[in-house]
Structure 1
Amino acid sequence: MLVGNHLSASKGYEAMGKMALKLNANTFAFFTRNPRGGKAKEINQADVDRYLALAKEHQFGKLVAHAPYTMNLCAAKEDIRAFSKEMIADDLKRMEYTPGNYYNFHPGSHVGQGAEAGIELIADALNDVLTKDQNTIVLLETMAGKGTEVGRNFEELREILDRVKLKEKMGVCFDTCHVWDGGYDIVNHFDEVLSEFDRVIGLDRLYAVHFNDSMNECGAHKDRHEKIGDGKIGLEAMKRIATHPALSGRPFILETPNDDAGYAREIAWIREWTE
């Protein structure tokens, strides 16, 4: 089972790898830069080399890097779209230091332009920044549907994917809290939700899972993560999701409101369920 959590990249790759091992994780997520935006920290090649050796020794799975929340490829303002495109282009170059991993991002908010316009803008930006030579798969994250978010259902994600030319460089990250808050009943009908995902997008495009409980009822469209078992999805449903054969082999990333002891406990649960 590939399981980990979000770690701070401020101290470098090797430090993140060692923290993951301390939590008994074999993958992790990290923000490519401050989650609220700003300049990315310079990458130290020696630090990367030490991490790559550590990851090989301990058989780490795919990492799931996360774009900053301020990146909005479908913003109403052209300067924000341009800045966001520069950001993702730079991040994808940086991802080549640790090739073969995933880069996940929130599709964006159309800010009153309408979902169709947002979808077109996102796809256009991706067509500008994706390259045939990149070794990173870019993941669209399923969203809860708050405000003017694009990606509030599987159909909107599929529309983006259909418009991207380099389809082999694209996939989806399935966030359990977001999907639940978006109105998909993964507590009582998880098999049906996966069947719907497969019909609309294809399970072969599902590369990673953000594994979070939710503070809200199904369909609330609020996006409030909760600790595993403490939310409205609940422990038993989370266990069924973690052990579902259709998700086997994907990295499961915890984004729960926790401290290190809490993450270690949740990682231990998932390992117990799946191993």
Structure 2
Amino acid sequence: MTKNTMLHIGCHLSSAKGYLAMGKDAVSIKADTFAFFTRNPRSGKAKDIDPADVQAFRTFAEEHHFTKLVAHAPYTMNLCAAKENIRTFAHEMLVDDLQRMEATPGNYYNFHPGSHVGQGSEQGIALIAAELNRVLTPAQSTTVLLETMTGKGSEVGRTFEELRAIMDQVELQDKLGICLDTCHVWDGGYDIVHDLDGVLQEFDRIIGLERLKAIHLNDSLNPCGSHKDRHARIGEGCIGLEALTRVINHPQLQDLPFILETPNELPGYAQEIALLRERKE
């Protein structure tokens, strides 16, 4: 295993104050990446982008050697909803978000694939892929990431096979990747504590590790296979610090951006980042 490699790590930050403020918050906790919601995660409203703020951030990010950012779509965006008006709302948000992402080109846009709401996973997969085919363009610089899900309710993306099925139906394959959430895959039944290598081998066989672009690094309050979604602080859940240390040190994962989505404020994130940097081999 390579020694003294860089741990690219950050957390979810509030976008309310703008890009430069997020960048400064990230640096204050020794992060070199971060995640942010492109708009209000519960309502879908978006704040206007200030070009001067964006330019100041891009200069700041270059000076501080930021790696790729991992923006997050709002939870209200459901590309495979049963109701057409909800899918239309999701389409409008997605189009606008991808345009907004070009203000900071070359980064990642992560989203929960959606919930089929009784239509069945096959129909949900078809609707998600159709929408991606509708909005992705050859000219965009943003890579869109499907997130691994826990499988609660009617979520699509509960297995690697479901994610692959979406990807297989998308035409612009080079604009698409995966964000693996450690809490979600654990809750979904993938035992990353006792068989991390086996889980990654399965991911590689079904999807391909070259498609894995980012990691949401979270502990879980629930046992493996619970199909729930309750994140815990690093080392305070059922996954545990030792297993998450193996994740950040795995040779096939160590160059990816790791995003903490643990229940914390900035001081708590700073402590987790320091802890994980200490355990980086």
Regions of 4+ moved over 2 Å: none
1:269: Cα distance to partner?
1.6
Aligned to 1:226: 232
Q: Note if contact 1:5-1:263 (Cα within 8 Å) is conserved in structure 2.
A: yes
Give the paired residue count. Answer: 275
Taking the TM superposition and a 5 Å limit, the aligned residue runs for 1:196-275 are: 196-274=202-280
1:37: Cα distance to partner?
2.4
1:196: Cα distance to partner?
0.2
Q: Note if contact 2:44-2:76 (Cα within 8 Å) is conserved in structure 1.
A: no
Q: Which residue, 147, 170, 181 being the options, matches 2:187?
A: 181
- Distance in 2 (CA, whole Å) between partners of 1:224 and 1:38 is 22
Q: Note if contact 2:44-2:93 (Cα within 8 Å) is conserved in structure 1.
A: no
Q: Note if contact 1:33-1:40 (Cα within 8 Å) is conserved in structure 2.
A: yes
Aligned to 2:100: 94
Amino acid in the other structure paired with 1:181 = D
Which consecutive residues of structure 2, in runs of 5 or more, have no partner in the other structure?
1-6
Amino acid in the other structure paired with 2:234 = I
Aligned to 1:50: 56
1:38: Cα distance to partner?
2.7
Amino acid in the other structure paired with 2:94 = I
- Distance in 2 (CA, whole Å) between partners of 1:230 and 1:3 is 19
Residue deviations 1:104-155, cap 9 Å, x none?
A: 0000000000000000000000000000000000000000000000000000
Q: Secondary structure at the match of 2:48?
A: coil
The TM-score with structure 2 as length reference comes to 0.97
- Distance in 2 (CA, whole Å) between partners of 1:18 and 1:41 is 19
- Distance in 1 (CA, whole Å) between partners of 2:44 and 2:90 is 11
- Distance in 2 (CA, whole Å) between partners of 1:271 and 1:164 is 37
- Distance in 1 (CA, whole Å) between partners of 2:19 and 2:266 is 18
Q: Which residue, 67, 85, 90 being the options, matches 1:84?
A: 90
Q: Note if contact 2:187-2:224 (Cα within 8 Å) is conserved in structure 1.
A: yes
Deviates more, 1:33-42 or 1:152-161: 33-42
Asked whether 1:152 is paired with 2:158, we answer: yes
Q: Note if contact 1:123-1:163 (Cα within 8 Å) is conserved in structure 2.
A: yes
- Distance in 1 (CA, whole Å) between partners of 2:265 and 2:254 is 26
The TM-score with structure 1 as length reference comes to 0.99
Aligned to 2:74: 68
Q: Secondary structure at the match of 1:222?
A: coil
- Distance in 1 (CA, whole Å) between partners of 2:251 and 2:25 is 28
Aligned to 1:105: 111
Residue deviations 1:19-54, cap 9 Å, x none?
A: 000011000000000011232100000000000000
1:7: Cα distance to partner?
0.3
